[in-house]
């Protein structure tokens, strides 16, 4: 298995520990990654796209064209990058007129969208390309007794007509992945609620209050930790817990994992090899529970 | 709110506004997609599903209604227009198949075209043009990357600046630099 690695912005530039953990975990599964050296921001599906849709589409198309030239499918580590790149891919594949228009613009930079490189989210690679069976076989340290609340995030599920990853109202795949690690998926209220990251830049207090809504439900349900698949959701729930404490004096103490970290721990990598020391909400207490 | 403020004055409405939205969005999503706005029957499933509306004064149903009534200035200059996180929950649930989130995006594009966008979004756009990343590297994160054993700069446009020239060229063609007030020197 070999992919063009699309790093995006938030993971390499604000959460490099997640890049490090993901590279180490994928290496254990024999997955080869080729860096997309000419890639830029995806671009951001909220700010840029809401000001000028065609600029957003042209820059996304350029990133897709870079992967076309590499002859590899794209692996994204972030829901935002996934939604941007996959929406651009589907739009340009299905709308011939738009494709022609965008390719005329890309030609000025000697690029062409050919539509050969498909866009895959990290969870798709684990769930579909590697598969639950292979993951179960690799587990050396089953996460027995650990109750994990899965937060999928919006832009891996919706719009479902384009992303087609899982049921937008009742997603199961991340829960199944959690189960494959020997942990117990913890169900909780408002599972598909948005983390609020899309509002952080515009209205940070409301954004944090949105994150709080879910943390309250996760705590009520009695989960030991959360698992996410997106760096924006990760920041909302990890660093967000400190921002909530300042705002409302509430203390949640719910460790938050990015999926590669939890998987990495289950297949026997050390906390050091996963950069687990860099979390704001410390994870040690939860890891001790496993042993 | 006084009684007179609750009255919609016909002379302050723009009956062509909804057609303007449909027309603008047709170039992106196709006409059929955009015309779904006219099917809205104000059931409120969108507002009831809205994670932002749980906390803010943003009401998706109200935006749809005002757009259909032609309250152009009110819609385009409202602060709440920028409170949608684009989670697409209403889009999935609308019983009339109104393409809500995409319609909100189009209305935001129209607002931005006349300069009515958030300064924060313009700032993100200027960072993208300057660095190729909306969240550029800092010295602190160079050190953290190094300490982890990763390359100091990520293997993206940050390490290969010639790719950034391409992107700037595309952005100039789209006149996006002018829209967000990007100046090469500053």
- Which residues, 6 or more positions from B180, have their beta carbon under 8 angstroms from its beta carbon? A51, B121, B122, B125, B126, B129
- C-alpha span between A281 and A8 (Å, rounded): 24
Mean pLDDT of all residues in chain A?
97
- Convert the pLDDT of each residue in A110-131 to its tens digit: 999 999 999 999 999 999 999 9
Whether B28 has a pLDDT exceeding 60, the answer reads yes
pLDDT, residue B4, reads: 67
Of A105, A198, A201, the CB nearest to B86: A198
pLDDT, residue B186, reads: 46
- Convert the pLDDT of each residue in B51-78 to its tens digit: 999 889 999 999 999 999 999 999 999 9
**Contacts with A, B 131-160, CB within 8 Å:** 132-138, 141, 144-145, 148-150, 154-157, 159-160
Q: Given CB atoms, is B53 within the 8 Å cutoff of chain A?
A: no
- Are B148 and A210 an interchain contact pair (Cβ–Cβ within 8 Å)? no
Contact list in B for residue A46 (CB cut-off 8 A) is 85-86, 121
Angstroms from A244 CA to nearest CA on chain B? 14
Mean pLDDT of all residues in chain B?
95
Q: Given CB atoms, is B105 within the 8 Å cutoff of chain A?
A: yes
Contact list in B for residue A7 (CB cut-off 8 A) is 154-156
Contact list in B for residue A43 (CB cut-off 8 A) is 128, 134
Contact list in A for residue B85 (CB cut-off 8 A) is 46, 154, 194, 196-199, 210
Whether A212 has a pLDDT exceeding 50, the answer reads yes
Angstroms from A92 CA to nearest CA on chain B? 11
Instruction: Please name each of the domains of chain B with its CATH number.
Output: 12-113 (1.10.1060), 119-179 (no CATH)
Tokens 């509306």 belong to residue? B53
Q: Mean per-residue pLDDT for B124-147?
A: 97
Q: pLDDT class for A290, splitting at 50, 70, 90?
A: confident
pLDDT, residue A291, reads: 64
Whether A82 has a pLDDT exceeding 50, the answer reads yes
- Are A13 and B137 an interchain contact pair (Cβ–Cβ within 8 Å)? yes
pLDDT, residue B1, reads: 60
Q: How many CB pairs under 8 A join A and B?
A: 206
| Host H or E run for residue A6 | strand A2-6
Angstroms from B129 CA to nearest CA on chain A? 10
Contact list in A for residue B134 (CB cut-off 8 A) is 9, 41, 43-44, 47-48
- Are A62 and B118 an interchain contact pair (Cβ–Cβ within 8 Å)? no
- Are B154 and A13 an interchain contact pair (Cβ–Cβ within 8 Å)? yes
CA-nearest residue to A47 within chain B is B121
Per the omega criterion (within 30 degrees of 0), is the bond before A159 cis?
A: yes
Task: Give the DSSP letter string of chain B.
Answer: --HHHHSPPGGG--TTHHHHHHHHHHHHH-HHHHHGGGG-----HHHHH-TTTTTSS--HHHHHHHHHHT-HHHHHH-GGGGG-----HHHHH-TT---HHHHHHHHHHHHHHTT-S-HHHHHHHHHHHHHSSSS---HHHHHHHHHHTS-SS-SSTTT-THHHHHHHHHHHHTTHHHHTT--S--
- Convert the pLDDT of each residue in A50-60 to its tens digit: 999 999 999 99
Of B108, B144, B157, the CB nearest to A39: B157
- Convert the pLDDT of each residue in A23-77 to its tens digit: 999 999 999 999 999 999 999 989 899 999 999 999 999 999 999 999 999 999 9
């Amino acid at each position: 298995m070999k992919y063009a690695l699309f790093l995006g912005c938030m993971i390499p530039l604000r959460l490099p520990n997640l890049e490090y953990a993901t590279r180490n975990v994928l290496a254990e599964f024999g997955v080869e990654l080729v860096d997309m050296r000419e890639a830029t921001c995806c671009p951001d599906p909220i700010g840029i796209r809401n000001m000028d849709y065609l600029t957003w589409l042209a820059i996304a198309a350029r990133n897709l064209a870079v992967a076309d030239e590499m002859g590899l499918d794209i692996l994204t580590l972030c829901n935002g990058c996934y939604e941007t790149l996959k929406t651009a891919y589907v739009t340009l594949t299905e709308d011939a007129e738009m494709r022609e228009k965008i390719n005329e613009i890309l030609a000025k930079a000697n690029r062409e969208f050919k539509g050969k490189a498909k866009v895959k989210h990290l969870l798709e690679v684990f769930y579909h390309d590697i598969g639950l069976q292979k993951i179960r076989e690799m587990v050396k340290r089953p996460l027995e007794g650990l109750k994990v609340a899965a937060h999928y995030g919006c832009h891996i599920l919706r719009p479902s007509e384009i992303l087609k990853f899982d049921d937008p109202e009742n997603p199961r795949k991340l829960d199944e992945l959690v189960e494959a690690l020997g942990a117990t998926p913890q169900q909780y209220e408002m599972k598909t609620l948005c983390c609020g990251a899309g509002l952080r830049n515009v209205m940070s207090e409301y954004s944090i209050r949105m994150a709080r809504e879910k943390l309250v439900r996760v705590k009520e349900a009695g989960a030991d930790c959360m698992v996410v698949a997106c760096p924006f959701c990760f920041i909302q729930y990890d660093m967000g817990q400190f921002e909530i404490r300042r705002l409302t004096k509430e203390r949640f103490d719910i460790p938050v994992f990015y999926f590669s970290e939890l998987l990495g721990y289950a297949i026997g990598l050390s906390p050091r090899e996963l950069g687990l020391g860099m979390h704001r909400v410390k994870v040690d207490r939860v890891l001790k529970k496993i042993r | 709110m006084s009684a007179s403020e609750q009255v919609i004055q016909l002379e302050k409405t723009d009956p062509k506004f909804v057609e303007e939205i449909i027309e603008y969005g047709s170039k992106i999503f196709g006409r059929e997609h955009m015309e779904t706005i006219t099917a809205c029957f104000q059931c409120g499933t969108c507002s009831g599903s809205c994670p932002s509306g749980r906390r803010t004064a943003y009401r998706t149903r109200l935006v749809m209604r005002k757009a259909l009534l032609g309250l152009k200035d009110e819609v385009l200059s409202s602060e709440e227009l920028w409170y949608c996180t684009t989670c697409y929950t209403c889009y999935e649930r609308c019983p009339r198949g109104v393409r809500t989130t995409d319609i909100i995006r189009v209305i935001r594009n129209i607002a931005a075209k006349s300069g009515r966008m958030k300064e924060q979004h313009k700032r993100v756009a200027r960072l993208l043009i300057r660095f190729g990343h909306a969240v550029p590297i800092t010295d602190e994160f160079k050190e953290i990357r190094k300490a982890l054993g990763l390359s100091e700069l990520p293997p993206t446009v940050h390490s290969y600046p010639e790719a950034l020239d391409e992107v700037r060229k595309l952005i100039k063609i789209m006149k996006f630099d002018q829209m967000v007030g990007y100046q090469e020197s500053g």
